[in-house]
Amino acid sequence: MDSYTPAPDRYDRLPFRRTGHSGLRLPEIALGLWHNFGADGDPGRSRAMVRRAFDLGITHFDLANNYGPPPGAAELRFGTLLKEDLHPWRDELIIASKAGFTMWDGPYGDGGGRKYLFASLHQSLRRLGLEYLDIFYHHRPDPDTPLAETMQALADMVRQGKALHVGISNYPAAEARRAVALLAELGVPCLVDQVRYSMLEREMETATLPALAELGVGAMAYSPLAGGQLSDRYLEGIPLDSRAAGASPFLQAEQITPRRRQTLRGLHDLARARGDSLSQLALNWVLRHPAMTTALIGASRPEQIEAAVAARRSAPLGDDELARIDALLARDRAA
Protein backbone atom coordinates (compact mmCIF):
# COMPACT_ATOMS: atom_id res chain seq x y z
CA MET A 1 0.00 0.00 0.00
CA ASP A 2 1.37 3.40 -0.98
CA SER A 3 1.63 6.14 1.63
CA TYR A 4 -0.74 9.07 1.39
CA THR A 5 -0.08 12.79 1.69
CA PRO A 6 -3.05 15.08 1.02
CA ALA A 7 -2.94 17.78 -1.63
CA PRO A 8 -1.40 20.96 -0.21
CA ASP A 9 -3.99 23.13 -1.99
CA ARG A 10 -6.99 21.18 -0.67
CA TYR A 11 -8.55 24.19 1.01
CA ASP A 12 -8.51 26.20 -2.21
CA ARG A 13 -10.99 23.92 -3.98
CA LEU A 14 -14.32 24.18 -2.17
CA PRO A 15 -16.17 26.89 -0.21
CA PHE A 16 -17.18 26.30 3.41
CA ARG A 17 -20.38 27.51 5.08
CA ARG A 18 -21.21 28.17 8.69
CA THR A 19 -23.58 25.57 10.13
CA GLY A 20 -26.63 27.44 11.40
CA HIS A 21 -25.65 29.81 14.22
CA SER A 22 -22.75 27.61 15.34
CA GLY A 23 -19.04 28.19 14.99
CA LEU A 24 -18.60 25.09 12.83
CA ARG A 25 -18.00 25.51 9.12
CA LEU A 26 -18.60 22.62 6.77
CA PRO A 27 -17.67 22.16 3.10
CA GLU A 28 -20.51 22.77 0.67
CA ILE A 29 -20.07 19.19 -0.57
CA ALA A 30 -19.74 16.32 1.90
CA LEU A 31 -19.23 12.62 1.22
CA GLY A 32 -21.73 10.09 2.51
CA LEU A 33 -20.70 6.46 2.89
CA TRP A 34 -24.21 5.04 2.59
CA HIS A 35 -23.39 3.15 -0.61
CA ASN A 36 -20.21 1.48 -1.92
CA PHE A 37 -18.43 1.27 1.44
CA GLY A 38 -19.90 -2.03 2.61
CA ALA A 39 -18.34 -5.46 2.50
CA ASP A 40 -19.55 -5.83 -1.10
CA GLY A 41 -17.62 -2.75 -2.24
CA ASP A 42 -14.08 -2.68 -3.60
CA PRO A 43 -11.66 -1.58 -0.83
CA GLY A 44 -9.27 0.00 -3.32
CA ARG A 45 -12.02 2.11 -4.82
CA SER A 46 -13.21 3.15 -1.35
CA ARG A 47 -9.68 4.30 -0.52
CA ALA A 48 -9.39 6.19 -3.80
CA MET A 49 -12.69 8.00 -3.20
CA VAL A 50 -11.83 9.05 0.35
CA ARG A 51 -8.38 10.24 -0.63
CA ARG A 52 -9.70 12.19 -3.61
CA ALA A 53 -12.45 13.74 -1.51
CA PHE A 54 -9.97 15.03 1.07
CA ASP A 55 -7.61 16.27 -1.65
CA LEU A 56 -10.52 18.35 -2.98
CA GLY A 57 -11.32 19.94 0.38
CA ILE A 58 -14.08 17.60 1.55
CA THR A 59 -13.43 17.34 5.26
CA HIS A 60 -16.84 15.97 6.24
CA PHE A 61 -17.55 12.22 6.04
CA ASP A 62 -20.99 10.96 6.98
CA LEU A 63 -21.82 7.46 8.24
CA ALA A 64 -24.44 5.61 10.26
CA ASN A 65 -24.31 2.51 12.40
CA ASN A 66 -26.32 0.47 9.88
CA TYR A 67 -24.49 1.46 6.70
CA GLY A 68 -23.19 -1.60 4.91
CA PRO A 69 -23.98 -4.27 3.98
CA PRO A 70 -23.80 -5.79 6.52
CA PRO A 71 -24.67 -3.15 9.15
CA GLY A 72 -21.48 -1.65 10.55
CA ALA A 73 -19.35 -2.51 7.54
CA ALA A 74 -19.01 1.08 6.30
CA GLU A 75 -17.74 2.24 9.69
CA LEU A 76 -15.23 -0.63 9.77
CA ARG A 77 -13.94 0.24 6.32
CA PHE A 78 -13.70 3.94 7.05
CA GLY A 79 -11.99 3.13 10.37
CA THR A 80 -9.33 1.24 8.41
CA LEU A 81 -8.86 4.22 6.09
CA LEU A 82 -8.59 6.54 9.05
CA LYS A 83 -5.91 4.37 10.62
CA GLU A 84 -3.92 3.78 7.43
CA ASP A 85 -4.36 7.09 5.56
CA LEU A 86 -5.98 9.94 7.44
CA HIS A 87 -4.96 9.55 11.08
CA PRO A 88 -2.35 12.38 10.96
CA TRP A 89 -5.09 14.75 9.78
CA ARG A 90 -7.82 13.69 12.24
CA ASP A 91 -8.16 17.26 13.53
CA GLU A 92 -9.02 18.44 10.02
CA LEU A 93 -11.92 16.00 9.67
CA ILE A 94 -15.58 16.15 10.65
CA ILE A 95 -16.71 12.55 11.12
CA ALA A 96 -20.39 11.88 11.75
CA SER A 97 -22.45 8.82 12.51
CA LYS A 98 -26.06 8.10 13.45
CA ALA A 99 -28.35 5.64 15.18
CA GLY A 100 -32.07 5.15 14.98
CA PHE A 101 -32.82 2.36 12.53
CA THR A 102 -32.63 -1.35 13.32
CA MET A 103 -29.07 -2.40 14.04
CA TRP A 104 -29.35 -5.67 15.97
CA ASP A 105 -32.01 -8.09 17.17
CA GLY A 106 -33.99 -7.68 20.35
CA PRO A 107 -35.64 -4.73 22.10
CA TYR A 108 -32.48 -2.59 22.44
CA GLY A 109 -31.28 -2.53 18.82
CA ASP A 110 -33.57 0.11 17.33
CA GLY A 111 -35.34 3.40 18.05
CA GLY A 112 -34.50 6.33 20.27
CA GLY A 113 -34.06 4.88 23.75
CA ARG A 114 -31.05 5.76 25.88
CA LYS A 115 -29.85 2.13 26.06
CA TYR A 116 -29.80 1.75 22.28
CA LEU A 117 -28.28 5.13 21.52
CA PHE A 118 -25.35 4.77 23.93
CA ALA A 119 -24.69 1.16 22.93
CA SER A 120 -24.74 2.18 19.28
CA LEU A 121 -22.43 5.14 19.85
CA HIS A 122 -19.90 2.94 21.68
CA GLN A 123 -20.01 0.35 18.91
CA SER A 124 -19.52 3.04 16.24
CA LEU A 125 -16.51 4.46 18.07
CA ARG A 126 -14.94 0.99 18.29
CA ARG A 127 -15.51 0.29 14.60
CA LEU A 128 -14.06 3.64 13.63
CA GLY A 129 -11.18 3.48 16.11
CA LEU A 130 -12.06 6.91 17.50
CA GLU A 131 -12.40 8.44 20.96
CA TYR A 132 -15.15 10.83 19.85
CA LEU A 133 -17.37 11.74 16.92
CA ASP A 134 -17.63 15.27 15.61
CA ILE A 135 -21.39 14.87 15.06
CA PHE A 136 -23.77 12.18 16.32
CA TYR A 137 -27.32 12.13 14.98
CA HIS A 138 -30.58 10.54 15.98
CA HIS A 139 -31.42 9.04 12.61
CA ARG A 140 -35.23 9.23 12.74
CA PRO A 141 -38.02 10.07 15.20
CA ASP A 142 -39.12 7.19 17.42
CA PRO A 143 -42.84 7.35 18.30
CA ASP A 144 -42.37 4.74 21.04
CA THR A 145 -39.77 6.69 23.04
CA PRO A 146 -40.32 10.02 24.78
CA LEU A 147 -38.49 12.67 22.81
CA ALA A 148 -37.10 14.03 26.08
CA GLU A 149 -35.30 10.72 26.70
CA THR A 150 -33.73 10.75 23.25
CA MET A 151 -32.56 14.35 23.55
CA GLN A 152 -31.22 13.77 27.08
CA ALA A 153 -29.12 10.92 25.72
CA LEU A 154 -27.72 13.15 22.97
CA ALA A 155 -26.94 15.91 25.44
CA ASP A 156 -25.16 13.49 27.77
CA MET A 157 -22.99 12.26 24.89
CA VAL A 158 -21.70 15.80 24.45
CA ARG A 159 -21.14 16.25 28.18
CA GLN A 160 -19.18 13.00 28.29
CA GLY A 161 -16.96 14.10 25.40
CA LYS A 162 -18.08 11.27 23.12
CA ALA A 163 -19.59 13.69 20.58
CA LEU A 164 -18.64 17.29 19.95
CA HIS A 165 -22.02 18.11 18.39
CA VAL A 166 -25.38 16.42 18.00
CA GLY A 167 -28.04 16.59 15.34
CA ILE A 168 -31.25 15.05 14.08
CA SER A 169 -32.22 13.47 10.79
CA ASN A 170 -35.56 12.93 9.06
CA TYR A 171 -37.37 15.02 11.67
CA PRO A 172 -40.33 16.97 10.25
CA ALA A 173 -40.76 20.59 11.23
CA ALA A 174 -42.92 20.17 14.35
CA GLU A 175 -40.75 17.43 15.84
CA ALA A 176 -37.58 19.29 14.89
CA ARG A 177 -38.82 22.33 16.81
CA ARG A 178 -39.49 20.18 19.87
CA ALA A 179 -36.13 18.46 19.66
CA VAL A 180 -34.24 21.74 19.28
CA ALA A 181 -36.12 23.25 22.24
CA LEU A 182 -35.41 20.24 24.47
CA LEU A 183 -31.71 20.30 23.64
CA ALA A 184 -31.59 24.03 24.30
CA GLU A 185 -33.09 23.48 27.76
CA LEU A 186 -30.32 20.96 28.41
CA GLY A 187 -27.67 23.47 27.34
CA VAL A 188 -26.60 21.55 24.22
CA PRO A 189 -27.44 23.14 20.85
CA CYS A 190 -28.81 21.09 17.99
CA LEU A 191 -26.20 21.63 15.31
CA VAL A 192 -27.86 20.30 12.16
CA ASP A 193 -30.84 18.48 10.69
CA GLN A 194 -30.31 16.11 7.78
CA VAL A 195 -33.23 16.30 5.38
CA ARG A 196 -34.05 14.56 2.12
CA TYR A 197 -34.09 17.42 -0.36
CA SER A 198 -33.72 17.71 -4.11
CA MET A 199 -35.41 19.25 -7.14
CA LEU A 200 -37.78 16.28 -7.18
CA GLU A 201 -38.44 16.25 -3.42
CA ARG A 202 -39.23 19.77 -2.25
CA GLU A 203 -41.54 19.13 0.70
CA MET A 204 -38.89 20.48 3.08
CA GLU A 205 -39.33 24.00 1.67
CA THR A 206 -42.80 24.42 3.16
CA ALA A 207 -42.08 24.14 6.88
CA THR A 208 -38.86 22.34 7.78
CA LEU A 209 -36.26 24.55 6.10
CA PRO A 210 -37.91 27.79 7.30
CA ALA A 211 -38.05 26.35 10.82
CA LEU A 212 -34.37 25.42 10.78
CA ALA A 213 -33.41 28.88 9.53
CA GLU A 214 -35.50 30.48 12.27
CA LEU A 215 -33.97 28.25 14.95
CA GLY A 216 -30.40 28.73 13.79
CA VAL A 217 -29.95 25.04 12.97
CA GLY A 218 -27.96 24.02 9.92
CA ALA A 219 -29.61 22.01 7.14
CA MET A 220 -27.84 19.23 5.31
CA ALA A 221 -29.43 17.79 2.16
CA TYR A 222 -29.07 14.09 1.60
CA SER A 223 -30.01 12.44 -1.68
CA PRO A 224 -29.65 15.76 -3.56
CA LEU A 225 -29.70 13.80 -6.83
CA ALA A 226 -32.99 12.08 -5.91
CA GLY A 227 -31.52 8.62 -5.74
CA GLY A 228 -29.60 9.15 -8.99
CA GLN A 229 -32.53 10.40 -11.06
CA LEU A 230 -30.88 13.82 -11.42
CA SER A 231 -28.01 12.45 -13.43
CA ASP A 232 -27.60 11.65 -17.09
CA ARG A 233 -28.43 7.96 -16.59
CA TYR A 234 -32.19 8.08 -17.06
CA LEU A 235 -32.64 10.54 -19.91
CA GLU A 236 -33.63 7.89 -22.42
CA GLY A 237 -34.76 5.02 -20.23
CA ILE A 238 -33.56 2.70 -17.49
CA PRO A 239 -30.11 1.15 -18.06
CA LEU A 240 -29.88 -2.50 -17.08
CA ASP A 241 -27.02 -1.80 -14.65
CA SER A 242 -28.75 1.15 -12.96
CA ARG A 243 -30.15 1.39 -9.45
CA ALA A 244 -33.71 1.66 -10.78
CA ALA A 245 -33.31 -1.60 -12.70
CA GLY A 246 -32.21 -3.46 -9.60
CA ALA A 247 -33.80 -4.15 -6.24
CA SER A 248 -32.99 -0.80 -4.65
CA PRO A 249 -35.60 0.33 -2.11
CA PHE A 250 -34.64 3.95 -2.81
CA LEU A 251 -35.38 4.16 -6.53
CA GLN A 252 -37.90 2.04 -8.40
CA ALA A 253 -38.37 1.67 -12.13
CA GLU A 254 -41.93 2.99 -11.96
CA GLN A 255 -40.62 6.37 -10.84
CA ILE A 256 -38.90 6.86 -14.20
CA THR A 257 -42.07 7.63 -16.16
CA PRO A 258 -42.15 9.19 -19.65
CA ARG A 259 -43.09 12.52 -18.04
CA ARG A 260 -40.19 12.24 -15.60
CA ARG A 261 -37.78 11.57 -18.45
CA GLN A 262 -39.16 14.63 -20.22
CA THR A 263 -38.49 16.68 -17.10
CA LEU A 264 -34.99 15.29 -16.79
CA ARG A 265 -34.23 16.10 -20.44
CA GLY A 266 -35.43 19.65 -19.95
CA LEU A 267 -33.22 20.07 -16.89
CA HIS A 268 -30.35 18.44 -18.76
CA ASP A 269 -30.67 20.95 -21.60
CA LEU A 270 -30.69 23.84 -19.16
CA ALA A 271 -27.59 22.45 -17.46
CA ARG A 272 -25.75 22.02 -20.76
CA ALA A 273 -26.50 25.63 -21.66
CA ARG A 274 -24.67 26.62 -18.46
CA GLY A 275 -21.76 24.29 -19.19
CA ASP A 276 -22.80 21.93 -16.38
CA SER A 277 -24.01 18.36 -16.14
CA LEU A 278 -27.48 17.62 -14.80
CA SER A 279 -26.03 16.43 -11.48
CA GLN A 280 -24.03 19.64 -11.14
CA LEU A 281 -27.15 21.70 -11.80
CA ALA A 282 -29.00 19.70 -9.14
CA LEU A 283 -26.29 20.33 -6.54
CA ASN A 284 -26.15 24.05 -7.27
CA TRP A 285 -29.94 24.22 -7.05
CA VAL A 286 -29.99 22.58 -3.60
CA LEU A 287 -27.23 24.86 -2.33
CA ARG A 288 -29.03 27.97 -3.56
CA HIS A 289 -31.37 27.71 -0.55
CA PRO A 290 -30.27 30.10 2.22
CA ALA A 291 -30.93 27.55 4.97
CA MET A 292 -28.67 24.93 3.40
CA THR A 293 -25.18 24.26 4.71
CA THR A 294 -24.06 21.20 2.80
CA ALA A 295 -25.11 18.82 0.04
CA LEU A 296 -24.30 15.26 1.05
CA ILE A 297 -23.38 13.15 -1.96
CA GLY A 298 -22.73 9.46 -2.51
CA ALA A 299 -20.26 8.20 -5.07
CA SER A 300 -19.15 5.02 -6.76
CA ARG A 301 -15.91 6.41 -8.24
CA PRO A 302 -13.58 9.40 -7.66
CA GLU A 303 -14.66 11.15 -10.86
CA GLN A 304 -18.15 11.71 -9.45
CA ILE A 305 -16.65 13.49 -6.45
CA GLU A 306 -14.52 15.64 -8.75
CA ALA A 307 -17.61 16.63 -10.76
CA ALA A 308 -19.54 17.54 -7.61
CA VAL A 309 -16.77 19.81 -6.36
CA ALA A 310 -16.38 21.35 -9.82
CA ALA A 311 -20.08 22.26 -9.74
CA ARG A 312 -19.36 24.92 -7.13
CA ARG A 313 -17.16 26.78 -9.62
CA SER A 314 -20.21 27.43 -11.83
CA ALA A 315 -21.97 30.77 -11.89
CA PRO A 316 -24.86 31.12 -9.43
CA LEU A 317 -28.25 30.25 -10.83
CA GLY A 318 -29.96 33.34 -12.19
CA ASP A 319 -33.60 34.31 -11.72
CA ASP A 320 -34.49 33.29 -15.26
CA GLU A 321 -32.88 29.88 -14.82
CA LEU A 322 -34.64 29.33 -11.50
CA ALA A 323 -37.96 30.25 -13.10
CA ARG A 324 -37.37 27.76 -15.93
CA ILE A 325 -36.52 25.05 -13.41
CA ASP A 326 -39.66 25.81 -11.41
CA ALA A 327 -41.76 25.56 -14.56
CA LEU A 328 -40.29 22.18 -15.49
CA LEU A 329 -40.78 20.84 -11.97
CA ALA A 330 -44.37 22.18 -11.80
CA ARG A 331 -45.26 20.26 -14.97
CA ASP A 332 -43.59 17.16 -13.53
CA ARG A 333 -45.67 17.37 -10.32
CA ALA A 334 -48.85 17.93 -12.34
CA ALA A 335 -48.40 14.67 -14.21
Amino acid at 132: Y
Q: Which of 226, 166, 218, 168 is nearest to 196 (CA)?
A: 226
Condensed to tens digits (0 to 9), the pLDDT of residues 180-208 reads 999 999 999 999 999 999 999 999 999 99
> Would residue 42 count as lying in a domain?
yes
Looking at the domain assignment, is residue 264 inside a domain? Answer: no
| pLDDT for res 1 | 65
| 50 neighbors 83 (Cβ within 8 angstroms) | no
- pLDDT value of position 261: 86
Note the pLDDT of residue 207.
Answer: 97
Does 323 fall in a domain?
no
Beta bridge partners of 167: 137
Q: How far is CA 310 from each of CA 56, 212, 277, 324, rounded to the nearest angstrom? A: 9, 28, 10, 23
* 125 within domain boundaries: yes
Q: How many other CB atoms sit within 10 Å of the CB of residue 202?
A: 14
CA–CA distances in Å: residue 334 to residues 242, 278, 329: 26, 22, 9
Residues of the chain with pLDDT under 70: 1, 234, 236-256, 335
DSSP letter, residue 190: E
Domain region containing 204: 13-236+277-317
Share of the chain above pLDDT 70, in %: 93
Q: Is residue 206 domain-resident?
A: yes
Q: Is 241 a member of any domain?
A: no
How many domains does the chain divide into?
1
Indicate whether 3 belongs to any domain: no
CATH of the domain at 28: 3.20.20.100
In a domain, 247, yes or no: no
> Is 168 strand, coil or helix?
strand
* Euclidean distance between CA atoms 240 and 97, whole angstroms: 33
Q: How many CB atoms lie within 10 A of CB 162?
A: 18
Q: State pLDDT tens for residues 44-84.
A: 999 999 999 999 999 999 999 999 999 999 999 999 999 99
Question: Buried b vs exposed e over 145-160: b needs ≥16 C-beta within 10 Å?
Answer: bebeebbbbbbbbbee
